[in-house]
Every structure is written in structure tokens, then in C-alpha cells.
Amino acid sequence: MSSTDLPTGSLSASSLTESLPTFAELWEDNSALLRTIIEESEDAIFAKDVDGRYLIINSAGARAAGKTIATMVGRTDTEIFPPDLANEIRTDDVAVIDSGRSYSFENTIIFNQSPHIFHSIKMPYHNAEGEIVGIIGIARDITELKRAETSQRLLAKIGEVLSTSLDYEERLTKLAQLAVPHLADWCGVDILTETNLVQRVAVAHTDPSKLALADELYHRYPPDWSQPTGAALVLQTGQAQIYPQITAEMIEAAARDAEQLRLLRAINIRSVMIVPLTAREKTFGVMTFIWAESDRQYDQNDLALAEEIARRAAIAIDNARLYKGERNARREAELTAQRITSMQSVTAALSEAITPLDVAQVVLERGLVILTADSGILSLVDESNTYLEILHSFGYDQQRLKPWQRFPITANLPMAEIIYTGQPVFMETLDNLAERYPEWAKNRISDHNSLAALPLVVEGRVIGSISLSFVQPRTFSAETRKFMINLARQCAQALERARLYQAEKEARSQAEAAQQRLALMTEINERNRLAQELHDTVAQALGYLNLKMSMALMQLDQGHLSEIQESLQELKQIIGETYTDVREEIFNLRNSAVPGGHFLETLQEYVAKYKRFYDLDVQLIQTGDASRFKFPDEVGIQLIRTIQEALINIRKHAQVDEAVIFLSHIDNHIQIRIEDQGRGFDVNPSPTQSASSFGLQIMQERIEKVGGRLEIESEPGEGTRITLHYSF
């Protein structure tokens, strides 16, 4: 148990009594909010009285204790947990109650022979008189976090041990000692020697005095490494084995005689893990981990840690063996290091390659140098998935290569074979080329003597192949083959990135072109609308002005001064109305081309200006969530323009000085309604009225263009209602 003093500023007696009289009262009140908070939490939440009885505990807390809510409420920890744990928890509770402060604690609870560590925060709570009447707590299972921390510390120590000496037996002894008691009570290491014999090189126990027991068992009953069980099976297959629970029956079945049974029982094996020591795809030993006196059981997390320890140990052992090995082994290691550096260079170059051809050039021209190949071909499967097409080649006579620029993936060629098998082809000699690939042998494009062909695989799909040729016969070691496969993998990933980049670039280009076309169509439609507006207002007004001016001149010639005065008054009125129309059109154009994301702000600003500039009192009423009124730019523009058209019609034709705009939404359906109580009109006009309905047609087209719908309701003398519908 550990505790930490926590600040209690936000948990004073007054604040708790004001907002939380007691958890029990709130629970009895069936507070839905409290029940939701407590019951849905993945952390354990509980409340106890001063005697330690549980007043409340949620399902997560009951599960953590291995109980049910019903079996815990009303009981104390002494009635629920083992004595040591119950006393520890009670001591923590008393510290909180006595101090009146909040603390954090860590407690360990054993479930199914596996320890779980809980971090809890406990605080006092008070009654209405400010007296401490119990504690409130929240606890979280931090076992995995602690396990991860312990594992990291253990791995760090193991890393230090494995790097301190070139004597791998000494390092393995220290490694086994580190494994106990963190991961085992017993830990042993067996190594396959260069003479193919298995040797016990290390054994450790939490009590060193018991090592003699293990030594006696090992020498009197040495393991049979030919058996398909236990450590022998792991050494044979390279696959780890875990036995979470070792029963008495299993011990009896494993014993060869009564004496071995006695020794096995003395070791007290309860749970076992056996993991392989594997490096460079070769298993050359095993590590055995045993829980005994601790009476714990291994799980998959323990196995993963053990495998990581074994992996690091195997690498260290293998490196030590390589260091002490023959000269050619050291050269191979140096070559591997060089290739890793080269691969990093290739990877960096591939990250800058934009097109598939760029990728092919990097892989072939740099890969040939790294692998000392003389020529190479990179081919890709076509869109029909029936042909291979050469994307790039290097080191070949282009004339001899022409017949192979495009060939079926069913062709009897190494580059085609790997497309449907997904497996690389390595030919260290071409002596049997004619027998295996007669067509390729008949039309060889080079006189090379070794060949490697590798599939380019992306997410399990073969997209092409790389073929490398060598003038001199080559032996493809396991390391070289692995490097080639990694190179092909890097190439395939880079090709896929380049393909996606090109596709994205084309899609973006198409989207930009579509946007330009849309903008052009919008501009054309706007011009047509503006032309119609000018025709219906300014042009007709100018025509009428011209007619009235001619009549006025005739009246002037005839000396009809009173009639001239009337004509001039009418001319003045028409000029004023025309000026208003033109100014309104300019005003609308300036206030419509705004981003759809600022629709509501733009509309509010427009309505405010409209009320100031024109004799129309427009009320804007918005209900619901304002964030719902955010649209794509084109949608926002068309909605604004449609509202503007509606207000123009009201000002010109409704013969009212008031209008209302209602904004509302139901889920993702937006509704904008413009109403007036004016003179209205017939929504089914006669042919003679079709010109006056042009504005309504424009409004209809605007809304339909962005996927919306326009609804018009009006009757002569009954006002007009125009509703815009739009759904996301």
C-alpha cells in the first residue's frame, strides 16, 4: 500500500454538503444522472460509512472484487476480502477519515491466482452538519500499466546485461537471475551447441539454496530432446509453449519414477512458459520460466514479455557467436550493415519519388549497385490484370528487350510466375533455364548466369515484379534474399504511394475543373438572371421613359403645360423606382458571394442593411442550433440569392412594409420561410402573366441546382409564403 496526500480545495465540507448531501440519499432518490455516471464508469466507484460498510458500489467495482453489488453493499472489507488485504484497505480508509483529507493509494488484489493492482483516490464526505460520515472512492485497475513499467525496467536492465560482455554464457546467467522474481521463481536457459548438443548454461531461483535441487534433477533425469513435448518441442519448432496451470496429474504423468516425482514436487511447479531463443530464423536454445512458491499463473502478456526477453537474448548470443565466428561470417555481418545503410538511402530517395517511373529508377539504379547486379527490370501488372508491362529497365540492350515490353502474366517466365505464386524466384545458376523456362531461354535478353525475380506486393496483392540479373554466378544467402525481399517491399509501397498520389492529383484536377465549370455556369446563370432583371426593370423603365418623354415634347409643342407637369411627375417617379431597382441589385450582388460557413452572419448583416436602405421592415427569426446553418459555399450563395429575390418581389409587388424570415431545422433538414401579408398572387399564372413569374422560376432553379426544393404558397389578397427546403 502506498498513499499520496491530495489537495482538497474542491472537496470542502460546505461544497459537499451543498451539492452532495450523501451518496446514499442521492442513490435512494433514483437520480438518473448519478446512476449513469456511476454505473457506466469503467472505474470502480464506491462509498462507505465510517465503519467501512459499503453504501454504494458500481458494477465495475463489484467485478473488480470478484463479487456482485448485492453481496458487497452493507458489508465491510473484512467480510469480503482476505484479512491482510481487508486490514490494509481499512487502514487507508481510517487515514482519510481521521485526517479529513483526500489520499491516493495502491492495493493489490489476487484474482484467479493473478495479482491486480488498483490505484484509488479516497476522500471524506460530510453530512449536513459538516460531520465526516464516510468516504467516497474511485479505483482503477493499473495492472497493465504497472506490468508495462516493470517490463520496461526489466528489459532495460536486460539490455545492460546483454551489452556488458562478449561471453554469452555469463550474460545468460545474469539474464536468468534478472528474470527472478519479476517473471519467475525459477528460470533456466538451455543452448544448442555448435556440435548439436543441448547444454544447460544457466539456472536461477529466488532462493539460491534451492539451485542444488534443480541441478540434481537435471543431471539425474536429463531432458529427452527428441520428445515432441515441452522444451524439446520448442527447440524443434521454434514456437513458444505456455502451460498456465500445472496440475498434480501432469506432474505425475511427467515423472519417470518415484524419485523424479519427489524432485518435481519439491520444485513445486505451478505454471510454466518455454520460449525459443531464435535469431536469423534459427532456433538454438530455449528459456524456461516457472512460477512455484509465488503460486501465480502465466498469461499471454507474460508470454509476450518472455518472448521479447528471449528475442533480445538470442540476438545478443547470435552477435557474440558471429563475433567469434569465422571470417566470412564477420564479412556477412559487415555487408548486412552496409545494406541497412544503403536501404536507408534507398528509402530516403523513395520518399522523394513522385511518379511510378521515379520509383522504378531509384530501386533499379540504386538496388543494382547495392546488390552488385548487372541489370534489372521492373514490370507492373496492367489494369486488366492480364499483362505485365515493363516500366523501367537498366543494363539491358533495348533492342533485345523490345519483344518483352508487354507479355501475359500466364507466360512461362520467372517474372510472370511470381505474379500468380507471390513467391520470389532465385536461380543461382541458369543451367536448368531451358528446362524450367524454355520460352525465356529461347529469347534471352542477356548472357547472365544468375537471376533473382521478386514480387511487388501491396496488401496481399501482387502489382508487379523486379528481376535482377548477374553476369557471374551468385549464391543468394538467406541474408541476401531477405534484403532483396525488403527492397521489393519498399519498392511496392513506394509504387502504391506514387499511384495514390497520381490518382489524388488527377482527382484534384478533375475537381478543380468541375469547380471551374460550376463557377462558369453559375456566372452564366447569374448573367442571364441579371440580364432578365435589367430587361424587366431598367430596360422597360427606360423604354417607358422614352415614350413619356416623347409625349411630353408633343404636349410642350401643343402648349399643354398642366399635362406636361403631370408627365414630368410620373417621369420622376419612374426614374426613382428604376434607381432603387439598380441600387438594390448592386446591393444584393455585393452581399451574396460569401462562404456558406458564414451563412447566418451574412444573412443577419444583409437584413439589417436592407431595413435601413429600403422601406421594408424585415424580421429574422431563427430557432434551433445556429451551427446547423453552415453550408457548402455554393449552397450558401444560392440560398442568400434566393432570399434576396424573395425580398425584391415583396418590395415591388406585395404592397406591404413588413416581412418575416423564419429559419428552423429538424435534424439535418433546413427550412427557410419568407412570409408577407401582402396582396398575394395566383401561383398558376396565365400566359399573359408568365413574364412576371420569371423571378419565381429563377428562385426555383437556384434551389434545385444545389439539391434543395422551393415551395410557394400564395393567393390573391392572402399574402405569400415561400419556403426553401435543404437537407445535408
The CATH number given to whatever domain includes residue 32 is: 3.30.450.20
Number of domains in the chain: 4
Q: From 380, 180, 450, 405, select the one nearest 290 (Cα to Cα).
A: 180
Is 36 within 8 Å of 132 (Cβ atoms)? no
Residue 459 is assigned to a structural domain of this protein: yes
Residue 669, classed as helix, strand or coil, is strand
Cα→Cα distances 679→651, 653, 672, 697, Å? 12, 8, 21, 20
pLDDT (tens digit, 9 = 90+) per residue, 327-386?
A: 555 666 676 777 677 777 777 877 777 888 888 888 888 877 888 888 888 899 888 888
Residue 563 is assigned to a structural domain of this protein: no
With a cut of 50, which residues of the chain have pLDDT below it? 4-20, 26, 690-691
Residue 606 and residue 591: Cα distance in Å, rounded?
Answer: 7
Q: From 617, 609, 602, 610, select the one nearest 677 (Cα to Cα).
A: 617
DSSP designation for 560? -
Q: Which residues contact 617 (CB under 8 A, 6 or more apart)?
A: 611, 657, 658, 659
Is 121 within 8 Å of 6 (Cβ atoms)? yes
pLDDT given for residue 710 in this prediction: 93
Residue 520 is assigned to a structural domain of this protein: no
Instruction: Go through 561-585 and write b for each residue having 16 or more CB atoms within 10 A of its CB, e for each that does not.
Output: eeebeebeeeeeebeeebebbeebb
Residue 73 and residue 318: Cα distance in Å, rounded?
Answer: 58
pLDDT given for residue 588 in this prediction: 59
pLDDT (tens digit, 9 = 90+) per residue, 131-143?
A: 999 999 999 988 8
Q: From 313, 237, 234, 216, select the one nearest 272 (Cα to Cα).
A: 234
Q: From 411, 409, 502, select the one nearest 461 (Cα to Cα).
A: 409
What is the pTM (predicted TM-score) of this model? 0.38
Is 391 within 8 Å of 356 (Cβ atoms)? yes
Q: Assess whether 156 and 222 both reside in one domain.
A: yes
Q: Assess whether 33 and 122 both reside in one domain.
A: yes
pLDDT given for residue 654 in this prediction: 86
Residue 570 is assigned to a structural domain of this protein: no
CATH number of the domain to which 355 belongs: 3.30.450.40
Q: Assess whether 300 and 357 both reside in one domain.
A: no
Domain final residue pick, 283, 307, 324: 324
Residue 75 and residue 65: Cα distance in Å, rounded?
Answer: 13
Peptide bond into 595 cis (omega under 30): no
The residue segments making up the domain with residue 266 are 148-324
Domain final residue pick, 123, 141, 159: 141
pLDDT (tens digit, 9 = 90+) per residue, 470-505?
A: 888 788 888 888 888 888 888 888 888 888 888 888
Q: Assess whether 303 and 344 both reside in one domain.
A: no
Q: Assess whether 439 and 339 both reside in one domain.
A: yes
Domain final residue pick, 108, 141, 174: 141
Residue 51 and residue 58: Cα distance in Å, rounded?
Answer: 19
Residue 560 is assigned to a structural domain of this protein: no
